[in-house]
Amino acid sequence: AQTVTQSQPEMSVQEAETVTLSCTYDTSENNYYLFWYKQPPSRQMILVIRQEAYKQQNATENRFSVNFQKAAKSFSLKISDSQLGDTAMYFCAFFSGNTPLVFGKGTRLSVIA
């Protein structure tokens, strides 16, 4: 079964600094999708960024970018110029055509002024 591991339960970063959240996954599939979701205190789940495994280029969305290492099965999220509004739980998630969406346990990120 596919598993997603987020090894950092909590992290903090100073405002305007850069932070990287780690995610590793285990799969025997070759084609799949990876996601980062953000869950602010309001509990809403918001899609931050998505990566298709067949694309070598790392996905980027404004201040958010990923470092996708397919061979290492690693999918880290980098947040640049951190803002107070980035304070949230961040979930890494995996999907392939054969399994439903699998989430990691999450990383709680605190941005400090």
Partner 1 sequence: DAGVIQSPRHEVTEMGQEVTLRCKPISGHDYLFWYRQTMMRGLELLIYFNNNVPIDDSGMPEDRFSAKMPNASFSTLKIQPSEPRDSAVYFCASSLGLFTDTQYFGPGTRLTVL
> Which one among 8, 22, 33, 64 touches partner 1, defined by CB under 8 A?
33
Looking at the Cβ atoms of 84 and 101, the one nearer to partner 1 is 101
**Cα separation of 41 and 24, whole Å?**
25
Q: How far is the CB of 44 from partner 1 (least distance, A)?
A: 6
Q: By CB under 8 A, is residue 91 in contact with partner 1?
A: yes
Q: By CB under 8 A, is residue 104 in contact with partner 1?
A: yes
DSSP 16-70: T--EEE--EEE-S-SS-EEEEEEE-TT---EEEEEEETT--SPPEETTEEEEEET
Q: By CB under 8 A, is residue 41 in contact with partner 1?
A: no
User: Do the Cβ atoms of 84 and 15 come closer than 8 Å?
Assistant: yes
Q: By CB under 8 A, is residue 72 in contact with partner 1?
A: no
Q: By CB under 8 A, is residue 95 in contact with partner 1?
A: yes
Between the CA of residue 28 and those of 62, 73, 96, what are the distances in Å? 31, 10, 10
**Cα separation of 67 and 59, whole Å?**
8
Looking at the Cβ atoms of 11 and 45, the one nearer to partner 1 is 45
> Which one among 20, 27, 45, 64 touches partner 1, defined by CB under 8 A?
45
Counting residues that bind partner 1 (by CB under 8 A) gives 18
